[in-house]
Copies of this chain bind each other. A is one copy, B any other.
Amino acid sequence: MSEHPLDPIFHPRAVALVGAPTTQSNWGGGFLLSILDIGFDKERVYPVNPKTNELNGLRCYPSLLDTPDPVDYVISMVPAHVVPTLVDQCIAKKIKAIHFFTAGFSETGDERMAEMERTMVEKLRGAGIRAIGPNCMGLYVPDGGLAFNRGFSKEPGNVFLLSQSGANAGQIINGLQRRGVRFSKAVSFGNGADLKAHDFFDYARTDPQTEVVIAYIEGIQEPRKLIDAIKGCAAVKPTIILKGGLYPAGARAANSHTASLAGSRVIFESLCRQAGAIRAETMNDLLDLTVAVTTGTRKVAGTGVALVGGPGGFAVLSSDAIAAEGLDLPPMPVDVKEKLREFVPVAGTSVNNPIDAHLRPGEQFEDGVKAIAGAPGIDVVFSTTYGNEAMPRGGDSDSDDETPPEEREDLAKKHAQEAAEALVRLQDETGKPFVIVQRDQGWMPNASSAYPLAAYEHGIGVFSDVPRAARAVRLMLEWRRRREGLPEIF
């Protein structure tokens, strides 16, 4: 496998943090703690700050030029006016890449600062040094020991995230990681003065670790290159793009934020359409679509939904929500209804899809769900959960239990694994994708997330409510329809 020119950036051998603040908080200045937490070899992490000799147990150097050789990656936290000096030091130090957390350049609208941004990039590129930013959070590489927030998972995955915004990158990573998604790499690239969206799409397309590419972008820099890069990427990997600044107010905000000139909604929608990428309209869309394309939800073949879960009022509103997305709830045929009535009491239930009935775990559930999934017109089964599949004996979380907390957790994980495995078996046997829909956590605030996580790990899409699950399925269907003629990637 040939190496991509950007590969070394994602896997530096040594990192210098120039201008590392003497107090480390989780926000902004927390790079040092973040990369120590995620496991970068601390022998090769060099904080630089003339005001102290030690930071978090590491030797702190007065200047970049005083750090040991080699340093191939620099994180710049110095103020903007110090950047020209730092650039000269980086060239002298022969580094490979620099990430500018430093802000205050073109995004301020100040022409002198925009000029300084152009000059620093030209100088660096002349020396063969690539820059990420300025005005961004930089890299998260689980197996490269890089992170920009504490709490990012060490476990690498298959999703590549590129985001102009650092805060949105953090929100996306946290939001998806809580749902079980793991990342190959993520990059927040801010103003994109040197490396731009198209560079990262291009890298993600060729990166063997990456199977899915997701993006938050604000501006369109070098439109032709960007379109080509998105096209190339979306042709071979599911590619999901959330675009900020689609309305004039958002565009003005994007301009202040990352100096971006945002395009119109219509142009961007047609760009995604032509490229075979999918446009997420909201942050929730981006999260839900990522879950959908990394699970069996991407394979749903048609609009027929079976909804298994009550009680009645929930089933009524859920049916409306499914219909509002243009999906169907085909009624169950007589033989399936009769089958279900063998173990579902008549009072307070319905077996006609929605199946407003509590199918008890075990044989009942398996037989019932098999019959439902096999019914004519059913393409996907929505199975609702309070999360209590992870509880011993399927009981609710309020029950007193003398088991010590750590054993309870292990037990919950074991039960969750078993329940997820049972669902996957059913999915395989029936050949219909299953989707798990979580119920309002307010009902069971202590319910474990073990079951949804185990289900996701087994390739089952998990969504927070019926409207979002229905929307994810609808968007998947539309996307697949639009991609006809393009190479098969699902």
Contact = CB atoms under 8 A, between A and B. Distances in A.
Interface in A223-265: 242, 244-250, 252-254, 256-258
A104 B346 contact: yes
Q: Which of A168, A244, A246, A396 has the most CB of B within 10 A?
A: A244
B256 A352 contact: yes
B104 A347 contact: yes
A467 B249 contact: no
A316 B356 contact: no
A302 interface: no
Nearest to A102: B347
Contacts of A174: 440, 442-443
Interface stretch (A1-9, A54-62, A320-328): A320-328
A406 B310 CA distance: 39
A316 B347 contact: no
A119 interface: no
Contacts of A374: none
A347 B80 contact: yes
Interface string A279-307: 00011000000000000000000000000
A119 to B, nearest CB: 18
Contact of A313 (B163, B175, B246, B322): B163
A256 B346 contact: no
A315 B350 contact: no
Given A165-B316, A314-B167, A350 B257 contact: yes
A440 B287 CA distance: 13
A312 B253 contact: yes
Contact of A257 (B167, B252, B315): B315
Interface residues of A, number: 73
A103 interface: yes
Contacts of A80: 347
Given A165-B313, A175-B440, A311-B166, A356 B320 contact: no
A446 to B, nearest CB: 13
Interface in A332-349: 346-348
Interface in A444-486: 467
Contacts of A250: 316-317, 319-320, 323
A331 interface: yes
Contacts of A354: 249, 253
Contacts of A104: 346-348
A53 interface: no
| Copies of this polypeptide in the complex | 2
B253 A103 contact: no
A253 B165 contact: no
A152 interface: no
Given A314-B168, A396-B25, A320 B247 contact: yes
B249 A328 contact: yes
A67 interface: no
A178 interface: yes
A313 B216 contact: yes
A312 B256 contact: yes
Contact of A256 (B26, B246, B356, B442): B356
Given A108-B346, A178-B442, A247 B323 contact: yes
B244 A316 contact: yes
Contact of A167 (B246, B253, B311): B311
A313 B347 contact: no
20 contacts: A25-B396, A26-B396, A103-B347, A103-B348, A104-B348, A164-B313, A165-B313, A165-B314, A167-B310, A167-B313, A170-B443, A174-B442, A218-B313, A244-B320, A247-B320, A249-B353, A250-B316, A253-B318, A253-B329, A282-B467
Interface of A: 25-27, 79-80, 102-104, 108, 110, 135, 163-171, 174-175, 178, 216, 218, 242, 244-250, 252-254, 256-258, 282-283, 310-324, 328-329, 331, 346-348, 350, 352-354, 356, 396, 398, 440, 442-443, 467
A-B pairs with the 4 shortest C-beta distances?
Answer: A165-B313, A104-B347, A257-B312, A247-B323
Given A244-B317, A282-B321, 6 more contacts: A80-B347, A104-B348, A250-B323, A253-B354, A257-B312, A257-B315
